[in-house]
Amino acid sequence: MVDLHIHSRASDGTDDIPELLQKIRDAGIEVFSITDHDTIEGARDMETEVPEEMTFIRGIEFSAITDAGKCHILGYGCDWNKRAFRSLLEEGAQKRRNKFEKRIRYLREGFGIELSEDTVRMLRLKGSVGKPHLGNLLVSEGYAPDKNSAIEKYINPCKTGTDRIDGGKVIKAILASGGVPVWAHPLGGTDERELSAWEFEKQLKVLLDAGLMGMECYYSKYTEEQIDMLVSTARKNNLYISGGSDYHGKNKNVKLGELSASGAQADRNKLTVLEIIAEKVSTQKRPLLEIVEGHDPGAYFQIMPIKVIDIGKRTDAPENQQEMREQLISVEEDIVSDFLYQIFKRHFDNDLLENAGRDAEYAPERYGDGIAFEWYLTDNFYTLESMKEVLDDIRVVADQLKKDPEDKSLDFMRKGLEGLGRYTAAYGRHIDDMTEEEISRRAEENIPELVDFYERFCDHIEEMIKEAHENGYDRISVCGP
């Protein structure tokens, strides 16, 4: 069985990743994709959990709009490192935040509904908050008997429909990221009105002109007649055929693997999109340890060149910080903790004006060497020269890893090296299911991945230093999550 359109709790589904994976297995689905709205959080978590006998495809669903109206675009097999994808991800997340704030104001001003600040704060922290979250909240607080009634009465009247990403931009960014753009539920999704033939044709032309590659022909809401029409249209326009249930857990009355209104499943051989996804994914190099270009909110360290104008003000004030967006990179917190932190802190300068005072807050008894590289929510400043020293040190470590990973000179970062077994291939066994011997062997196998990461990281930062120097920047900030 195949299902290429599934939502998790990371957006507006109700299942967390372990629960969802078990349900997918129980349903007999062997090939699947997590396609949360405007976020990769669920797909990223699922990727490390999938057992070898199942095939997982990276997915996402973007809310878009064109001159022909609203639409949803699925992106399969995208390289999450690409700047175009990261920029699209951030734009989608920002538009969702904007819509959420509009709806909160609308509830207050239109109906006098004051939701508790703690509840609103928790929803703001969600990566992808939408109508179902607010609808369920209104039900829990007694404003409506069920989610759909709450959405219809309190949320739908608040017009935010144009606050979406341009559909052409979405398609181009997915293509630039090595992915396959697919038009989701082209006749209208579950709980949405059906598009007229004229509306469908108009939207199809716009999306084709933008570079659309596929269409979701098999869908839980569609009749056999509708599916046949969509398949015929896809073939006529040289589009790949896709299919998915649009499962949302308890938020929609849709079953996993349900790819038609009759509940029938689709033969995987009919979903021609699988062929092109497999071809594209096989040619993409996805390192286990990733460096992300562009801004990536969440549990990442942001590394950027800055100009400090007035250190008397907060260092993140606009007049203090001019971010070179084209040179900003991000590294996951765990990677910094395991493989960069010990090196970075050896070159941290407490006497640098921007870093002054930390040695009092971070006392020597807590940091044996007296170095106070602050971990959370604050910039750690390095001069361009001291950052070069960091890179020299990283290269020494990388060379030693190639020669002998057990050498005593690497003891200062031994804990991270022993944890390398956690950085496992996407389709490998989960760490919790492995013996200590297997983890140790996997750690050794992953050393080339770490060396590759170090080399790529140094290349990225050297480019940043060059650009910073040429543009008058004199510091590099490493800002924790």
Last residue of a domain, one of 283, 309, 325: 283
Tens of pLDDT, residue by residue over 382-402, are: 999 999 999 999 999 999 999
Do 200 and 303 reside in the same domain of the chain?
no
Q: Which residue has the higher pLDDT, 359 or 6?
A: 6
Q: What is the DSSP letter of 434?
A: S
Query: Structure tokens of 418?
Result: 């022993």
Rounded Cα distance between 456 and 449, Å, is 10
How buried is 109 (Cβ within 10 angstroms: 0-12 exposed, 13-18 middle, 19+ buried)?
exposed
Do 58 and 177 reside in the same domain of the chain?
yes
User: Which of 193, 249, 171 is CA-nearest to residue 11?
Assistant: 249
Do 153 and 65 reside in the same domain of the chain?
yes
Q: Which residue has the higher pLDDT, 339 or 361?
A: 339
* Close Cβ partners of 470 (under 8 Å, ≥ 6 residues apart): none
123: pLDDT strictly greater than 90: no
Going by DSSP bridges, is the β-strand pair 180-183/214-219 parallel, antiparallel, or unpaired?
Answer: parallel
260: pLDDT strictly greater than 50: yes
Neighbours of 443 (CB within 10 A): 19
CB of 243 closer than 8 Å to CB of 219: yes
Tens of pLDDT, residue by residue over 55-72, are: 999 999 999 999 999 999
Q: Which of 95-104, 293-302, 451-460 has the lowest mean pLDDT?
A: 293-302
Q: Which residue has the higher pLDDT, 304 or 99?
A: 304
The per-residue DSSP string of 405-422 comes to TT-GGGGGGHHHHHGGGG
CB of 251 closer than 8 Å to CB of 147: yes
Q: What is the pLDDT of residue 322?
A: 67
Rounded Cα distance between 68 and 298, Å, is 34
User: Which of 256, 264, 298, 262 is CA-nearest to residue 13?
Assistant: 256
Q: Model confidence at 443, in pLDDT bands (50, 70, 90)?
A: confident
Do 248 and 359 reside in the same domain of the chain?
no
Rounded Cα distance between 304 and 476, Å, is 5
428: pLDDT strictly greater than 50: no
CA dist 280 to 10, 60, 64, 158, 283, Å? 26, 16, 24, 41, 5
186: pLDDT strictly greater than 90: yes
Query: Structure tokens of 451?
Result: 């060396």
Do 150 and 6 reside in the same domain of the chain?
yes
348: pLDDT strictly greater than 90: no
Do 172 and 205 reside in the same domain of the chain?
yes
Q: Which of 105-119, 164-178, 180-194 has the lowest mean pLDDT?
A: 105-119
Phi, psi of 20 (to 5 degrees): -65, -45
Contacts 24+ apart (CB under 8 A), 259-267: 259/2, 259/3, 259/218, 259/219, 259/220, 260/218, 260/219, 260/220, 260/222, 260/223, 260/224, 260/227, 261/220, 261/221, 261/222, 261/223, 261/224, 262/223, 262/224, 265/1, 265/2, 266/2, 266/218
Rounded Cα distance between 456 and 292, Å, is 11
Q: What is the pLDDT of residue 3?
A: 97
* Close Cβ partners of 379 (under 8 Å, ≥ 6 residues apart): 306, 315, 316, 354, 477, 478, 479
**Most confidently modeled range among 235-239, 251-255, 438-442:** 235-239
Rounded Cα distance between 6 and 34, Å, is 5
Rounded to an integer, the average pLDDT of 356-382 is 63
210: pLDDT strictly greater than 90: yes
329: pLDDT strictly greater than 50: yes
Last residue of a domain, one of 283, 303, 325: 283
427: pLDDT strictly greater than 60: no
Q: What is the pLDDT of residue 81?
A: 73
Q: What is the pLDDT of residue 365?
A: 58
Q: Model confidence at 267, in pLDDT bands (50, 70, 90)?
A: confident
Rounded Cα distance between 52 and 428, Å, is 6
* In the chain, % of residues over pLDDT 70: 86
**Most confidently modeled range among 92-106, 164-178, 300-314:** 164-178
Q: Which of 143-157, 219-233, 281-295, 315-329 has the lowest mean pLDDT?
A: 315-329
* In the chain, % of residues over pLDDT 90: 44
Do 277 and 398 reside in the same domain of the chain?
no
Q: Model confidence at 188, in pLDDT bands (50, 70, 90)?
A: very high
CA torsion angle for 428, 434, 436, 440 (degrees, to 10)? 0
Do 377 and 458 reside in the same domain of the chain?
yes
Q: What is the pLDDT of residue 361?
A: 59
Q: Which residue has the higher pLDDT, 162 or 383?
A: 383
Do 262 and 314 reside in the same domain of the chain?
no
Q: Which residue has the higher pLDDT, 109 or 470?
A: 470
Q: Which residue has the higher pLDDT, 217 or 477?
A: 217
Rounded to an integer, the average pLDDT of 229-250 is 96
Last residue of a domain, one of 227, 248, 283: 283
Do 268 and 296 reside in the same domain of the chain?
no
Q: Model confidence at 426, in pLDDT bands (50, 70, 90)?
A: very low
CB of 251 closer than 8 Å to CB of 275: no
Note down the domain range covering 367: 291-479
**What's the chain's Rg over C-alpha atoms?**
25
Q: Which amino acid is at 208?
A: L
* CATH code of the domain containing 148: 3.20.20.140
Rounded to an integer, the average pLDDT of 218-247 is 97
Indicate left, alpha or beta for 370 from its phi (over 0: left) and psi (-120 to 50: alpha): left
Question: Bridge partners of 57?
Answer: 33
Do 451 and 320 reside in the same domain of the chain?
yes
Residue found under tokens 């590759």: 452
124: pLDDT strictly greater than 70: no
Tens of pLDDT, residue by residue over 9-44, are: 888 888 999 999 999 999 999 999 999 998 888 898
Q: Model confidence at 266, in pLDDT bands (50, 70, 90)?
A: confident
Neighbours of 105 (CB within 10 A): 11
Query: Could you give the count of Cα atoms lying within 13 Å of 263 in the half-sphere of its Cβ?
Result: 3
Residue found under tokens 């389709």: 427
Average model confidence (pLDDT) for the chain? 85
Tens of pLDDT, residue by residue over 134-155, are: 777 777 778 778 767 777 777 7
Query: Structure tokens of 8?
Result: 């998790």
Query: Structure tokens of 19?
Result: 């629960």
Rounded Cα distance between 128 and 246, Å, is 16
Q: What is the pLDDT of residue 100?
A: 77
Domains: count for the chain? 2
Do 276 and 307 reside in the same domain of the chain?
no
CB of 104 closer than 8 Å to CB of 137: no
